[in-house]
Structure 1
Amino acid sequence: MRADRLVATLLLMQSRGRVTAAELAGELEVSVATARRDLEALSAAGVPVYPQPGRGGGWSLVGGARTDLSGLTATEARALFLLVGPAASASPAVKSALRKLVRALPGTFRAEAEAAAAAVMVDPVRWGERDQERPEVVELLQTAVVRRLKIRLTYDGRARERTRRLVDPWGLVDKDDVWYLVAGTEKGQRTFRIDRIAEAVMTDLPFERPGGFELPQAWGRIVDEVERRRSLVSATVLVGAVHLRVLRDQFGRHCEAGETLDDGRVRVRLAAPTALDIARHLAGWGTLVEVVAPDGVRAELARIGAELTGRYGEEPGMTTVGKPAPGMTTPTCTDRC
């Protein structure tokens, strides 16, 4: 990626005043010959760089010329790396360019830029939640992560009990449009759903992240634990191949397709925290899905069916559960199927 090297070269020359080909090669992880060719290419292209031979010489920008890109303010540099940081894990080339740009920034901006690049990651694998708008508090939390300042949270837990805590914001994760805060507390590392944060106030109290903490690795451990809890019970079901995509949308990664039978149905393994959770998801499918095992899920479905029959069995237009009255048509599958 020669373009990113040339940009990084200009930024280095501006921030340091003068560089040698050897210094440039060391910073950009290229050979001295490549660094020299890049400098000569800039000069040939009309960029005002020139060499000074001899002891103490090097390459400089004529008259201290500045590039627009290097005129970043501290706020702009932080915003840039908050944007680029999450994408850096997608491509080795992007990660390399990011490292070079960080080195080229003025020293006063470099620490915040590095912190901003590591403050947020994006995990695209869904857990089944619907799309949500980015909460307004994310920007404040990002600032706190980068500046290493403690946050006072007012938080609604799973049971909607409201608590107030002082936490160290270590990093943010966007998982399928649901945001999470990974933070240090007096009881150790905790994960907070940002849509449950009722209020967040950034303090002027500094904190230090634990040595060796890496957000991607920490999030990976969190995901593993959540997935373990979400897959304590599994069920084997049979479903028509045409409906498999909808079932996958419903169960996410906890839907594993197996063999296709002679009748066109697919054997699928589903998982959830409890048998009732699986039954609740499948109850609306009616006879489109057949539960082969376990008996616990079948029993929960039978119980749900009995409850529905008890409440709605006498509704006008229905003769028996699941069968339309004479003159009524059977509903057809939507385009989602």
Structure 2
Amino acid sequence: MRTDRLVAILLLLQRREQVTAAEVAQELEISERTARRDLDALAMAGVPVYSIQGRGGGWRLVGGARTDLSGLTMSEARALFLVAGPASAATPAVKAALRKLVQALPEPFRVQAEAAASSLVMDPERWGTSRVEHRPPRFLDELQDAVIRGVQVRLRYVDRESAETERTVHPLGIVAKGPWWYLVSNTEAGRRTFRIDRVSAADPTGDPVHRPEDFDLAESWREIADEIDRKRTPLEIQAVCVPHGIDVLRMALGRRLEVGGSTTDGRVEIVIRGHNEYLLAGELAGLVEWLEVTGPPGVRDRLASIGNALVERYG
């Protein structure tokens, strides 16, 4: 994230000629102390930037200097534009500024720079409860390179039953889902998702990827994740919730909660997904202050049983 800020500050200096730490802080949504520290870091890194003290002071580039983007290597240009994509934590102002830089790149670099900006999506919500952190998988760099260059890959893959298969895929994008990394690809069987830590070999063929003109990685991943979530939580229950309880339910249930319209008594219709009636009733028993389950009957019966057991033990 600091690299994003330093590049953004340099762009600000080029555009405005002189900036104050307060202006940098406001533009990048950081504290003035952080802005001053970043400006000092630019100077220490050899960027020709200096400060003017007193009234009307600020920071300037020596002689109105400009960065020479023509000196970037292909890999450096791609790395720069990764911070402008949807996976970046940079502010919208930083992303917009970096995207404008693509016009200053040498022509051979532009396509891959633009591809780098849309090659990665970050999805922070985890599947499951594991908190184990994982190192980036072995073939992550090779597969992201194939996405950016737009070349097919001969992939060897080990599925969850430990069976290894080999196929040629058309890489479309990389997704980080919690600690796991996924490759979204087109195959002969349609669009498929591969967990990258299960890839045992990845060999680029050099043949061009057939990429749908309207493909959007973030939108495609939302569709994939929603489908997987529904398979993991096949049971749906209907309920009504008091309006001030919706935020509590969102924190407790995440994407398993779907919010509908209002009822005649002012409550809100909701749908909640879960694994089975037994587990879902146990989970919802702690939320009865805000919601009333209306169906299916099996979940209501289980909730009543939980209530009776609680009264018998603690009544």
- What secondary structure, in the 3-state scheme, does the structure 1 residue paired with 2:134 have? coil
Letter in 1 for 2:254: G
Q: Determine which structure has more spread, i.e. the larger CA radius of gyration.
A: 1
Q: 1:282 to 1:273 in 2, by over 3 A?
A: closer
1:216-253 per-position Cα deviation (integer Å, ceiling 9, x unaligned): 232233244345545653235799xxx99997566322
Please report how far the alpha carbon of residue 80 of structure 1 lies from its aligned counterpart in structure 2 after TM superposition: 2.1
Task: Calculate percent identity across the aligned residue pairs.
Answer: 41
Q: Give yes or no for the alignment of 1:279 onto 2:263.
A: no
Q: 1:244 to 1:272 in 2, by over 3 A?
A: same
- What secondary structure, in the 3-state scheme, does the structure 1 residue paired with 2:185 have? strand
Q: 1:87 to 1:97 in 2, by over 3 A?
A: farther
- Matched residues in 2 for 1:164 and 1:47: separation? 55
**In angstroms, what is the RMSD of aligned CA positions?**
4.6
Letter in 1 for 2:201: A
Q: Give yes or no for the alignment of 1:139 onto 2:141.
A: yes
Q: 1:136-285 residue pairs with structure 2 within 5 A?
A: 136=137, 137-157=139-159, 159-195=161-197, 197-212=198-213, 213-229=215-231, 232-235=234-237, 251-255=253-257, 271-272=272-273, 274=275, 276=276, 278-280=277-279, 282-283=281-282
Q: Give yes or no for the alignment of 1:77 onto 2:69.
A: no
- Matched residues in 1 for 2:223 and 2:280: separation? 27
1:170-208 per-position Cα deviation (integer Å, ceiling 9, x unaligned): 10122334322110101121122334x241312233222
How many positions carry a matched residue from both structures?
A: 250
Letter in 2 for 1:110: R
Q: 1:178 to 1:44 in 2, by over 3 A?
A: closer
Match of 2:47 in 1: none
Match of 1:30 in 2: none
- What secondary structure, in the 3-state scheme, does the structure 2 residue paired with 1:210 have? coil
Unpaired stretches in structure 2, ≥5 consecutive residues:
1-7, 17-59, 261-266
TM-score (norm 2): 0.59
Match of 1:47 in 2: 64
Unpaired stretches in structure 1, ≥5 consecutive residues:
10-42, 49-65, 259-265, 306-320, 331-337
Please report how far the alpha carbon of residue 119 of structure 1 lies from its aligned counterpart in structure 2 after TM superposition: 0.9
Please report how far the alpha carbon of residue 142 of structure 1 lies from its aligned counterpart in structure 2 after TM superposition: 0.9
Please report how far the alpha carbon of residue 268 of structure 1 lies from its aligned counterpart in structure 2 after TM superposition: 9.4
1:282/1:289 contact within 8 Å kept = no
- Matched residues in 2 for 1:177 and 1:256: separation? 25
